[in-house]
Chains A and B, each alone.
Chain A
C-alpha cells in the first residue's frame, strides 16, 4: 500500500510537474536561439513559479478559484491513468474510455474559471479554445479508437505491453493514425500555428488575462501538466513507452520537433485552423481506421 502511494502516485505526478516545467524552460530557450536571441535560463519557469506565489492575486469569485482547482485536479488524475515508465496507479479503473473524459476536465475547468473573470478577451479566448479543441478532438477520437480496436483492449498498460521490443504502433498498420496524431499535436499543446486561443498580441493571452499571483502560478502548473500529458500520450501510444530514460528521450525528441514547427510558422486564424484540422489529420485518421478494418 505504501509502495503504491509512494511509487505509483507521487513519482508520476511529481515528475510530470518537473518535466513539464523543465520542458517549458527548454522551449523558451530553443525558440530564443532560433530567433537569434540569448533567451532566459532553462530554470526560468521554476523561478517564475516561486515569484508568482509571492505576488498578490485578484479573485473574481467562487468559480474563478474553483475552476482552476478542478482543472489541475483533472490533470493530476489523468496523469495517474497514463503509465509513466511502467508505473500506473489507476490501471484497472476504466482505461482509455475514462481517459477521454478525464482530458475534458482540465480545459473545462479553465474555461469556467476564465468565464467568471468577466473580461471580453477571456470570453474570446475560451470560445477559440473550445472551437480549436473540437477541431483536434475529432481526429483524436478516431486515433484512440483505431488504437483500441487494433489492440482489442481499452487498457493502457496492455497497449504498451504489446509494443515492447520495437513493435511500435508507429511502424504497424497504425502508422497513419500516428502521423495524424503528430499533425494535431501542436494544436493540442497550443503551439503555433495553433496558438489562437492564447494569442498574446491580439487578445492579451485570452482566458488567463485576469490571472495574477497564485492564480497565474496555478495556471503555469496546469500548463506544464498539460504539456506532459499530451506528449506522454503520444510516446506511450505510438512510440512504445519504455523505461524512464528512454521515455524521457522520446518525449524530448517529439517536443523539440514541435518547437521547431512553432518557431517558424505564423499563426492561423481560428476558422483556417479548424478547416485544416478537419481536413488532413481527420482524413488520415479515417484512412487509418479503415486500414485497421481491412487488416483485422
Chain B
C-alpha cells in the first residue's frame, strides 16, 4: 500500500503545487518543499520492508505490480533526497523567473516518475513511467527557450529512438514469455536461447544507453545539461542519467541474472566486456573534451559522461567488487555532481555568467560555495577522504583482479583529466584576481547555503566512513548473486588487498596538524591585497587581462585532433541527409492543387500508355 501511496502523494502533490501557485507563490514554495520532504520521509520509513504489491485493478488485462527491493530503495532514496535538496535550492535561484508554477510541478513530477520507474514490478509499468520521465524532462530542459529548445529537441529525438528500441524489446518479450512481470520473466529466462537474450539486451542497450549517455549515444547530454535551468541540471546529471544505469542493472542482473549475462557473446567477445569497453571510451575521450570547455556547466556535463563511464565499467566487469564499486560510484556521483551543479548555479546567480574566462577571485566573496566546489571537485577527482576515492578504488581493484590492463589504464588516465578540469573550475572561478565588477557581490542566500553544506558534508561522510553505505550495497550484490565481502565501517577487505580509510584519514589529519604547527614556528604572517604582488619591476594591471584564458593551451594543440566528437558530426550528417531527402519530397508535395491535378493526369496518362502500349507491342 505504501508504494502506491508514495506515487499518489507525489503526483497529486505535483498538481496541487501548480494550483497552490495560482493562489500565492509563498504557498507554492511551502507546498513544493513539504511534498519533497514527505517523500524523503516516506522512503526512509520503508527501509528494509521489501515487498510486492499487486493491484487488483488491472490495465489492459496486464497486472500492475509495485515492488520494493534493495536496488529500488537505494535509487529511491537518492532520487527523493536530491529532489528535496534541489527544490530548496530553487527557492532563491528561480525567484523572479516566469512560469514557476509549471517549474515546481515538473520538478516534483519528474522525480516521482523516477520513483515510479524504480518501484515498477512489470516492464509495462516501467515503460510507462520511463516515457513520463522522458517527456517531462524535455519540457524542463527547454524551460529557458532559445538555445534550450534545440537542446531539448536533440534530447527528445534521441530519447524516442531509445524508447522505440525498448518498446520493440518489451513487445518481443511479451510474445515470447506471455507476461511482463519482472519476477516471472526472470524465473523463466532459461526457456529462451542465448542469441535471443543478446538481441533483447542490445535493444535495451540502446534505450538505456541513450539515457545514461554512454558513448556513442551521449550527444544529447552536453547541450541539455548546459541549457537546462541549473537546479534541474543537478537533477539531470545527479539522478536522471542514473536511471539508465538502473535499467542496465535491472535487465542484466535481475531479469537475465548474472549466470547468463556474464557468459553471453562469443568466446572472444563477451557482451559485458563490450559494455565495459564502451564505458572505458566514455571515460577517456569525454574527460579530455571536458578540459577544453569554457562554459562551467558544459564542462561538468562532459565530465558526467566520463563519470558514467566509471559506473558502466564497474557494473559490467562482472565481479562482486566491481558491482559494489560501480553502484557506490553511482551514489557518490549523484551527490558530488549535484553539489557542483548547485555551486555553479550559485555563482551564476551572483555574477550572471558561467563563462570560466570571465570569473575569478570569488573565494573572498563566496566562501561557502568555494568550499562546496572544492569538496565536490575533490570527490570528482577522487582525492582520499572523499567518497569518490573509495568507489574509484573499488573499481580499479576489480579491474586489477580480473586482469583488465587497458581498462584500468584508461580509468586511471581519466582521473588525470579530472584533475585538469577539476582544477580549472576551482581556479578560474574562485582563485586568481577578483575582477572589479564583482567587488560588491553579496553572500549567498540561506536557501542556497543549506543544500551546499548538506551535500558537502555527505561527500566527506561517505569518504571517511564508506562502510555506512557499502554494507547495504554488499548485501544488494549478494542478493543478486555476487560474492560477499567483509565490510567494516571504515573500508572493505578482499583476498588480495584491503582498503582502510581510517588509517589514511587519521594520518592525513595528524599530518595537517603537524604542518600547521611547523608553520606557526615562523613569524606572524601579513595579509596583503591581491594587487600587491611581484611583477618583475612592473605592476600587475587591474582588470586588463585574465590569465586563465587558454589555460591548457599547449596541451590543446597536442590533443585537439583526437578530441573531435565524431559521433555528434555523424548524427548531424544523418539529420542533414534526412532533411535534404524530406526537402526533395516536399518539392513534390507542394500543396498547390494545380500540380496535384497534373500529377493525377500524368499518372492516368502513364497507365493508359502502358495499357495501350502493351497491347500494341
The chain A residues found within 8 Å of chain B, CB to CB, are 52-63, 65, 68-70, 72-74, 76-77, 80, 89-90, 92-95, 97-98, 100-102, 104-105, 108, 111-112, 115-121, 123-124, 126-128, 130-131, 133-134, 137-138, 141-142, 145, 148-149, 153-155, 204, 209-210, 213-214, 217-218, 221, 270-271, 274-275, 278, 289, 293
Which of B400, B423, B551 has a CB less than 8 Å from the CB of A154? Answer: B400
B493 nearest CB across to chain A (Å): 9
B516: chain A residues at CB < 8 Å are 69
A89: chain B residues at CB < 8 Å are 507
A141: chain B residues at CB < 8 Å are 409, 412-413
A80: chain B residues at CB < 8 Å are 507
Q: How far is the CA of A141 from the CA of B408 in the complex (A)?
A: 9
Extra contacts, 6 of them, besides A95-B497, A154-B400 (Cβ < 8 A), are: A119-B534, A121-B536, A137-B416, A214-B522, A278-B558, A289-B405
B413: chain A residues at CB < 8 Å are 137-138, 141
A120: chain B residues at CB < 8 Å are 535, 540, 547
Q: Which residue of B lies closest to A146 (CB)?
A: B405
Which of A69, A77, A154, A293 has a CB less than 8 Å from the CB of B405? Answer: A293
B420: chain A residues at CB < 8 Å are 130, 134
B498 touches A94 (CB 8 A): yes
A17 nearest CB across to chain B (Å): 10
A60 touches B530 (CB 8 A): yes
Q: Contacts A69-B519, A115-B427 given: A153-B496 contact, CB under 8 Å?
A: yes
B396 touches A90 (CB 8 A): no
B557 touches A271 (CB 8 A): yes
The yes or no answer to B518 lying at the interface (CB within 8 A) is yes
Q: Which residue of A lies closest to B523 (CB)?
A: A56
- Which of the 9-residue segments B56-64, B199-207, B381-389, B583-591 touches chain A? B381-389
Q: How far is the CA of A270 from the CA of B551 in the complex (A)?
A: 13
Q: Contacts A154-B397, A210-B533 given: A56-B512 contact, CB under 8 Å?
A: no
A63 touches B363 (CB 8 A): yes
A57 touches B523 (CB 8 A): yes
B419 touches A130 (CB 8 A): yes
A117: chain B residues at CB < 8 Å are 533
Which of B389, B405, B530 has a CB less than 8 Å from the CB of A101? Answer: B389
A286 nearest CB across to chain B (Å): 9
A72 touches B511 (CB 8 A): yes
The chain B residues found within 8 Å of chain A, CB to CB, are 361, 363-364, 367, 374, 381-384, 389, 392-393, 396-397, 400, 403, 405, 408-409, 412-413, 415-417, 419-420, 423, 426-427, 431-433, 496-500, 503-504, 507-508, 511-512, 514-516, 518-519, 521-528, 530-531, 533-536, 540, 547-548, 551-552, 554-555, 557-558
A73 touches B511 (CB 8 A): yes
Q: Contacts A62-B363, A101-B383, A115-B426 given: A213-B523 contact, CB under 8 Å?
A: yes
B523 touches A214 (CB 8 A): yes
A275: chain B residues at CB < 8 Å are 558
**Could you list some 17 contacts between A and B, CB below 8 A?**
A53-B522, A56-B525, A59-B525, A70-B512, A76-B515, A93-B504, A94-B500, A98-B384, A101-B393, A118-B432, A119-B540, A121-B534, A130-B420, A137-B413, A154-B397, A217-B522, A275-B558
Q: How far is the CA of A213 from the CA of B522 in the complex (A)?
A: 7
B511: chain A residues at CB < 8 Å are 72-74, 76-77
A65: chain B residues at CB < 8 Å are 519, 525
B431 touches A115 (CB 8 A): yes
B523 touches A119 (CB 8 A): no
Q: How far is the CA of A137 from the CA of B535 in the complex (A)?
A: 32
B417: chain A residues at CB < 8 Å are 134
A273 nearest CB across to chain B (Å): 9
Q: Which residue of A lies closest to B360 (CB)?
A: A118
B554: chain A residues at CB < 8 Å are 128, 131, 270-271, 274
The 10 A-B pairs at the shortest CB distance, nearest first, are namely A214-B522, A115-B431, A73-B511, A76-B511, A73-B512, A59-B525, A118-B433, A120-B547, A94-B499, A271-B554
Which of A97, A116, A126 has a CB less than 8 Å from the CB of B396? Answer: A97
Q: How far is the CA of A104 from the CA of B418 in the complex (A)?
A: 11
A54 nearest CB across to chain B (Å): 7
B391 nearest CB across to chain A (Å): 12
A118 touches B533 (CB 8 A): yes
Looking at chain B's contact residues, is the secondary structure mostly helix, strand, loop, or mixed? Answer: helix
B551: chain A residues at CB < 8 Å are 123, 127
Which of A70, A108, A210 has a CB less than 8 Å from the CB of B534? Answer: A210
Looking at chain A's contact residues, is the secondary structure mostly helix, strand, loop, or mixed? Answer: helix
A121: chain B residues at CB < 8 Å are 534, 536
B405: chain A residues at CB < 8 Å are 145, 149, 289, 293
A145 nearest CB across to chain B (Å): 6
B412 touches A100 (CB 8 A): yes
A101 touches B416 (CB 8 A): no
B513 nearest CB across to chain A (Å): 9
B433: chain A residues at CB < 8 Å are 118
Most central of A65, A94, A137 by chain B CB within 10 Å: A94
Most central of B423, B523, B536, B554 by chain A CB within 10 Å: B554
Q: How far is the CA of A95 from the CA of B493 in the complex (A)?
A: 12
B485 nearest CB across to chain A (Å): 15
Q: How far is the CA of A68 from the CA of B585 in the complex (A)?
A: 67
B528 touches A59 (CB 8 A): yes
Q: How far is the CA of A217 from the CA of B520 in the complex (A)?
A: 12
A112 touches B431 (CB 8 A): yes
B393: chain A residues at CB < 8 Å are 94, 97-98, 101
A260 nearest CB across to chain B (Å): 28
B512: chain A residues at CB < 8 Å are 69-70, 73
Q: Which residue of A lies closest to B551 (CB)?
A: A127
Q: Contacts A56-B523, A59-B526, A60-B530 given: A105-B383 contact, CB under 8 Å?
A: yes
B431 touches A213 (CB 8 A): no
A123: chain B residues at CB < 8 Å are 427, 432, 547-548, 551
B521: chain A residues at CB < 8 Å are 53, 214
Q: How far is the CA of A42 from the CA of B514 in the complex (A)?
A: 27
B559 nearest CB across to chain A (Å): 9
Q: How far is the CA of A138 from the CA of B415 in the complex (A)?
A: 11
Q: Contacts A69-B516, A148-B400 given: A61-B497 contact, CB under 8 Å?
A: no
Q: How far is the CA of A148 from the CA of B498 in the complex (A)?
A: 15
B506 nearest CB across to chain A (Å): 10
A148 nearest CB across to chain B (Å): 6
Q: Contacts A154-B497, A218-B515 given: A209-B397 contact, CB under 8 Å?
A: no
B519 touches A204 (CB 8 A): no
B552: chain A residues at CB < 8 Å are 127, 130-131
B431: chain A residues at CB < 8 Å are 63, 112, 115-116, 118
Q: How far is the CA of A126 from the CA of B420 in the complex (A)?
A: 11
A130: chain B residues at CB < 8 Å are 419-420, 423, 552
A72: chain B residues at CB < 8 Å are 511, 515
Which of A57, A126, A209 has a CB less than 8 Å from the CB of B525? Answer: A57
A93 touches B522 (CB 8 A): no
Q: How far is the CA of A126 from the CA of B515 in the complex (A)?
A: 22
Q: How far is the CA of A127 from the CA of B154 in the complex (A)?
A: 35
B396 nearest CB across to chain A (Å): 5
B384 touches A153 (CB 8 A): no
A94: chain B residues at CB < 8 Å are 393, 497-500, 504
B500 touches A92 (CB 8 A): yes
